Chain A
Amino acid sequence: GNSVTQMEGPVTLSEEAFLTINCTYTATGYPSLFWYVQYPGEGLQLLLKATKADDKGSNKGFEATYRKETTSFHLEKGSVQVSDSAVYFCALSFAGSARQLTFGSGTQLTVLP
């Protein structure tokens, strides 16, 4: 079956540090890949997505590149802010898939001032 593996958290960084959250997937075929973010007490929000190999998704200074050869979709940001503190979820789905999103377990990020 399909699965998504994320680096275990929690991750604690100082403001303006570089962020990488690793995400790899196992799937038959070529899924679309997503990063969702969950702020405290809220639901998940789509952060960025990529639909085919070598696509780069970007939003709010975050980036992730769809790497088919390594089945990865690592999330990066060059300079994190305190407001980026949240839980980040990597997910995949297939076009026409009956069951939509398969999520990773989430990575808690805390950014200290």
Chain B
Amino acid sequence: NAGVTQTPKFQVLKTGQSMTLQCAQDMNHNSMYWYRQDPGMGLRLIYYSASEGTTDKGEVPNGYNVSRLNKREFSLRLESAAPSQTSVYFCASSVGQGGNQPQHFGDGTRLSIL
């Protein structure tokens, strides 16, 4: 009954370091998403993948890259971390693109950039 699994749960980086956040879902969902959550700003979409083999930019894509490795996995990469990227990152998935499809969220990755 895992749902959406994110790793790691916590990470501290130095400015300029790179890292990849991993996300996997076991619900056979087609669409996957990466959000960041900052105090007072709700969740903002970074990138999404409507289906396997496709990725598109969301509201705040600068400084990030993504890879839809297969139907289950969708990773987020920070090539050169900056303090402004300190945030809580959430991965989500849904059955498919569409306004009525609820999204299922992971528990988040808490990332601090020093």
Residues of A at under 8 Å CB distance from B?
4, 31-32, 34, 41-46, 49, 51, 89, 93-101, 103-106
Contact = CB atoms under 8 A, between A and B. Distances in A.
Interface of B: 4, 31, 33, 40-45, 48, 50, 56, 58-59, 90, 92, 94, 97-100, 102-108
B45 A101 contact: yes
Which of B40, B103, B108 lies at the interface centre, i.e. has the most chain A CB atoms within 10 A of its CB?
Answer: B103
Interface of A is mostly: loop
B107 A49 contact: no
Nearest to B50: A98
B100 A32 contact: yes
Give 5 closest A-B pairs by Cβ, nearest first: A43-B105, A95-B99, A103-B42, A32-B99, A46-B102
B107 A41 contact: yes
Contacts of A44: 43, 90, 92, 103, 105
Contacts of B50: 98
B107 A42 contact: yes
Contacts of A93: 99
29 contacts: A4-B42, A31-B99, A42-B107, A43-B92, A43-B105, A43-B106, A43-B107, A44-B92, A44-B103, A49-B100, A49-B102, A51-B99, A89-B42, A89-B43, A94-B99, A96-B98, A97-B97, A98-B50, A98-B56, A100-B31, A100-B45, A100-B48, A100-B94, A100-B97, A101-B43, A101-B103, A103-B43, A105-B41, A105-B42
A34 B102 contact: yes
Contacts of A103: 42-44
A4 B31 CA distance: 23
B37 to A, nearest CB: 8
Which residue among A31, A43, A46 has the maximum number of chain B CB atoms within 10 Å of its CB?
A43
Given A46-B103, A51-B100, 14 more contacts: A42-B108, A43-B90, A43-B105, A44-B90, A45-B105, A46-B102, A89-B42, A95-B98, A96-B99, A100-B31, A100-B94, A101-B45, A103-B42, A106-B42
